[in-house]
Amino acid sequence: MSLSSTARQEKLCENRMKHKIILCFALVLGGALLECGNMTFGAGPQLTLPPWPTNVPSKLQLNGTWSNVMVKLVMPGSSNPPVKCTVEEILGKQAVYEVVPKPLRPYRNEFVVLAIHNPHTKEDCIISANHTFYVSGKSGLTGYTVTSRGALWLPSYLEMPDANGNLDAAIAKFEKEFDGQKLNNDLLPERRKGASFQRASPQYYYLEKPEAGARAAEMKIEAYEITDEILHVDVRNLATLKPASYWLDLNQRRVVKSIVDGHRMNVASGAPWAEPMD
């Protein structure tokens, strides 16, 4: 084989390798689309925390001041009896707390906390802040973070029944009865429950074009509701304008139905993405 032929052969191998690298990168990018910031939906079992260290006394320290914030409270609907899901805005208080001295990993030392009065149950609650909405259900108040790629939820940390909306009393109880183990169990993001919409979507749905290597598209959540323990979310790809609807069973923590661009998807195949059933 001549030198020029060898060079051509090496160049061909190099191009093939580049193609494989690009393809692998696109597949990895597709998997990364399940994440939003530090949130990964349906990432497996929850983090198991070791016992809270008791050899060094710890306490909560307010970092800054409490501020007023408006949050969305969802009252779930039901089909029997027929009750429509409703969403209302209510006033709460938000603040940042630090655990001092700083605990060792995997424990976290800083938490953004929300104090809120549930007018339907007459309870004052302490729960993690910055969720998309909060749900008043049979098990108490739960915070839900919903994006176009999935949902996760966390329970409340403290609930005071028969309360009159005096959030200062709930805040004082929260500070006085500080429990580092419970705080991390209830508010640590790694302890969340959640599920992904990825396996219920076409392979390239979250990209600007239906091809490997395309850029991630900007997505929009158009609507959401909870009825009969099913979270229904409507989203849209703003690049392709294709809509998608997902029905997430909150007890099973999985998508039981999805319709993307008018096509019912096979959500039970077990594949990394879904194919149309029609």
Q: Which of 264, 259, 113 is nearest to 184 (CA)?
A: 113
Q: Does residue 67 form part of some domain?
A: yes
What torsion do the CA atoms of 180, 181, 183, 184 make, to the nearest 10 degrees?
A: 110
Distance of alpha carbon 113 from alpha carbon 96, whole angstroms: 6
Q: Does residue 111 form part of some domain?
A: yes
In the chain, the number of structural domains is: 1
Q: Does residue 190 form part of some domain?
A: yes
SS (H, E, C) 39-79: EECCCCCCCCCCCCCCCCCCEEEEEEEEEEEEEEEEECEEE
Q: Which residues pair with 135 in a beta bridge?
A: 74, 142
User: Across residues 166-178, what is the average pLDDT?
Assistant: 87
Residue 60 pLDDT: 84
Distance of alpha carbon 52 from alpha carbon 175, whole angstroms: 17
| Model confidence, pTM | 0.77
Q: Does residue 72 form part of some domain?
A: yes
Q: Is the pLDDT of residue 226 over 80?
A: yes
Q: Does residue 259 form part of some domain?
A: no
Alpha-helix residue ranges (DSSP H) falling in the chain: 3-32, 167-176, 180-187
Q: Does residue 178 form part of some domain?
A: yes
Tokens of 260: 């993307």
Distance of alpha carbon 207 from alpha carbon 50, whole angstroms: 40
Q: Does residue 164 form part of some domain?
A: yes
What is the tens place of the pLDDT at every residue in 13-53? 444 433 332 222 222 222 222 233 334 454 444 556 666 66
143 band by pLDDT with thresholds 50, 70 and 90: very high
Residue 275 pLDDT: 95
Name the 3-class secondary structure at 199: helix
Q: Does residue 209 form part of some domain?
A: no
Distance of alpha carbon 268 from alpha carbon 277, whole angstroms: 11
- Per mean pLDDT, which range of 136-150, 175-189, 191-205 is the poorest? 175-189
Domain housing 90: 59-194
